[in-house]
Chains A and B, each alone.
Chain A
Amino acid sequence: MQINIILAGVGGQGILTIAAVIDLAALQSGLIVRQAEVHGMSQRGGAVQSHLRIADQEIYSDLIAEGTANLILSVEPLEALRYLPFLASEGRIVTSTDLFINMEGYPAMEHIHAELNRTNRPVLVSAAELARKAGHPRTSNMVMLGAAAPFTGLASQELEASIEKLFRAKGDEIVAMNIRAFRTGKALSQPQASNT
């Protein structure tokens, strides 16, 4: 088993928190993890990405080769498209549809939708709205993780256990809110994952 995930977003959006949950769940499941991330200048509002690889045998490269990502998980729709060359032909995009516009020339949303829809059944998530319903807008990353969960090859119980572990210090209420957000996302994408 080998799963290659590209996590995408804008510096400051918190994709590394998503990565941390997946890393922990994979490690707890007895799997091998390699996760390359971006530190430094681009964290200041630039495009950021993380290559996350999970396998049951040795992983050599920290970077994912082109055409071999099973999943692009993006917290911003344009950023999902930036890494298309990495997507495997059967790979899936799970992306938030919440725009983050901090530069000139941001393309029209219908063009972004058209490009996303060219890929293999993309899962589009109104993350901010679902997060608000789950209890707090700041849980939108856990909504996204929930929506991506069926494509990670990891058991949801392990992912939820990792969320609990990572947020435990912030109190039961925060943990419950994030789990709720995770389940909201998962409920949305589960039907789209079942017939792969």
Chain B
Amino acid sequence: MNKQLLLGAEAIALGALDAGISGVYAYPGTPSTEITEYIQKKSGGREQPVRSAWSSNEKTAYEAALGMSYAGKRTLVCMKHVGLNVAADAFINSAITGVNGGLVVAVADDPSMHSSQNEQDSRVYGKFAMVPVLEPASQQELYDASRYAFDLSESVQLPVLLRLTTRLAHSRAGVKSAATRLQNPLNALYAPERFVLMPHNARRQYNNLLGMQDRLEELSEHSSLNRLIPGSGKMGVLAFGIAFNYVMEVRQACGLDFPLLKIGHYPLPRKQIEAFFNTCETILVAEEGYPVYEELLRGYFGLQNGKQIKGRLDGTLPRAGELNADSVAHALGVTKKEVLAVPSIMVNRPPELCKGCGHRDLYEALNTVMSSCKEQHVFSDIGCYTLGALAPYNAIHTCVDMGASITMAKGAADAGLRPAVAVIGDSTFTHSGMTGLLDAINDHSPLTVIIADNDTTAMTGGQNSSANGSKLQAICLGLGVDEAHLRTIIPLKSHLAENIDALRQEINWDGVSVVIAVRECIETAARKKRNPSANV
């Protein structure tokens, strides 16, 4: 079969389609979004349908995937690294219940925080849940591993975590694919002794999971994702995931010949590593992400069995941020050649809200209202509107995690802060904002929630959001928002005066109020105009 040029994210998607998944579940999040988008685009042309609509959040996505697996079918669930925090409860406990149809969770980490609030390493979650983790190093390996992960999941009856990072997710390379496997038939598993996690079952299931660990390690010993590249000398490199690419790049470019053990399948293949260590005196541990295994290999007190271990913890590699060929070359002692400097006239070019975006008009109105308040704090959230934190608006003052705007405003209101104002998008509100609003209503915490409803999940490229317009109103009323304090405004320049009035009235009111600012994202609107069949 011919090679096709695919993003790493797309290679996972194609691998999953070819492995015979019956559904994908996901909430959009950079750098994982393109996995699901690819399946949405391609599943239509396939013989067997694959369900692929967006979920409200990562937890609902994960649980639905577990349900599909329970019913006997293969399913993929995708998220960014911080999304796994949201889905963690379901993820960890699905390792206790185990699975039926193959269940693969593809998690895209974002070292260097290109589009995220932290660079947490999902391999820690894999270890925490005690499930197999695959960490391929190339787009082809991603495709192959994605297919293999479903077989692995079914053979060990556990979810499999497929970890990738931004660089691989958003880099294209030629990928060869293989024939599509048929989907599993419906085959729901009646096994309350596994799936009812009351303590007596949970203890037994947990013991089973512990008992599985040797077998999982044995599978790692024979995985093609873990392999030795022989060489000479007493210095060896243990390269995890994509770090392998940078090490190979330097090895090839500089004509080096050190031995190299590539790791891409966890739990670690203990025998292979032991054999490798026996041939080396010094080992450089190169991991993309946290020094998870470097710490383990060093031992807590730095006891290294006579070996010198180098890596992120001793500064041989930088402690934070993604690796690259330059940082790896430095770690390998390659002398850096002179390169041109960035000229001193250079200035940063930060991202900004699009010209003509409704959020601009919303912030203009909000800033006018807040400027007359003694306390000027606006709690906000994750989406395009987060760009309101930057100049010229500087309109929002927090952005922590999905939904935190409402709940942080609530806590601040409970502490006595007046006014307490939250700005949240339509998609973020349905992701994790609704429950916080219910808390505020039940607790009579005076706050104003502004829902910036642009009818889409804009920052990640315009995916359908779970609720907008009248549905958002109905949700707020259903949660108990007083109808008199549920307002709708249209954030347009021509409405500025009336928007300021509406916001001022609600912000000054001593109770729970919601202002929904309704105006479609200009990017989404333009896309719909260009391609009327899309996004319906």
Task: Give A residues with C-beta under 8 Å from B.
Answer: 10-12, 23-24, 27, 32-47, 51, 59-67, 78-79, 81-82, 84-87, 102-107, 111-112, 115, 119
Contact = CB atoms under 8 A, between A and B. Distances in A.
Contacts of B242: 62
30 contacts: A10-B349, A23-B172, A32-B173, A32-B174, A33-B5, A33-B173, A34-B173, A40-B31, A40-B114, A41-B459, A42-B351, A43-B351, A44-B387, A44-B459, A45-B349, A45-B352, A60-B248, A61-B245, A61-B325, A63-B246, A65-B324, A65-B329, A67-B338, A81-B342, A81-B343, A82-B342, A84-B342, A87-B339, A103-B348, A107-B347
B325 A63 contact: yes
A27 B326 contact: no
A27 B325 CA distance: 24
A84 B33 CA distance: 31
Given A102-B352, A103-B347, A111-B345, A60 B249 contact: yes
A105 B347 CA distance: 7
Given A36-B167, A37-B171, A62-B171, A42 B5 contact: no
Chain B interface residue count: which class? 35 or more
Contacts of B325: 61, 63-65
A74 to B, nearest CB: 12
Given A37-B171, A39-B34, A111-B345, A66 B352 contact: no
Nearest to A34: B173
B340 interface: yes
Contacts of A65: 249, 253, 324-326, 329
A107 B349 CA distance: 12
Contacts of B30: 39-41
B350 interface: yes
Contact of A39 (B3, B31, B246, B339): B31
Contacts of B494: none
Contact of B350 (A46, A59, A79): A46
Interface of B: 3, 5, 30-31, 33-34, 114-115, 167-168, 170-174, 242, 244-246, 248-249, 252-253, 324-326, 329, 336-343, 345-354, 384, 387, 391, 459-461
Contact of A67 (B31, B245, B337): B337
Contacts of A66: 326, 336, 339
A35 B7 CA distance: 9
Given A60-B248, A61-B325, A62-B167, A67 B347 contact: no
A162 B427 CA distance: 38
Contacts of B336: 66
A60 B252 contact: yes
Given A60-B248, A84-B341, A119-B340, A39 B170 contact: yes
Top 10 nearest A-B pairs (CB, nearest first) are A40-B115, A46-B351, A40-B30, A61-B249, A36-B171, A62-B171, A65-B325, A107-B345, A60-B248, A67-B339
A38 B349 contact: no
Contact of A41 (B249, B347, B351): B351
A35 B167 contact: no
Contacts of B5: 23-24, 27, 33, 35
Given A65-B329, A66-B339, A104-B347, 8 more contacts: A34-B173, A35-B173, A39-B34, A39-B170, A42-B115, A44-B351, A45-B349, A115-B343
Nearest to A57: B252
Contacts of B342: 81-82, 84-85
A63 B167 contact: yes
A86 to B, nearest CB: 8
B174 A85 contact: no
The secondary-structure label for the interface of chain B is loop
A112 B249 CA distance: 33
Given A65-B329, A103-B348, A85 B339 contact: yes
Nearest to A64: B325
Nearest to B387: A44
Which interface residue of B173, B353, B387 has the most chain A CB atoms within 10 A?
A: B173
Nearest to A47: B349
Contact of A45 (B3, B338, B354, B459): B354
Contact of A84 (B171, B343, B384): B343
Contact of B384 (A27, A44, A81, A82): A44
A51 B461 CA distance: 21
Contacts of B354: 12, 44-45
Which interface residue of B3, B174, B351 has the most chain A CB atoms within 10 A?
A: B351
A46 B249 CA distance: 29
B340 A27 contact: no
B394 to A, nearest CB: 13
A43 B31 CA distance: 13
Contacts of A111: 345
Contacts of B350: 46, 103
Contacts of B459: 40-41, 44
Given A27-B5, A36-B170, A62-B171, A112 B345 contact: yes
A68 B74 CA distance: 44
B324 A63 contact: yes
Contact of A85 (B167, B253, B340): B340
A60 B340 contact: no
B351 A60 contact: no
A117 B248 CA distance: 35
Nearest to B242: A62
B78 to A, nearest CB: 14
A61 to B, nearest CB: 4
A100 to B, nearest CB: 9
A137 to B, nearest CB: 17
Nearest to B252: A60
A40 B110 CA distance: 11
Contacts of B172: 23, 33-37
B388 to A, nearest CB: 12
A39 B30 CA distance: 7
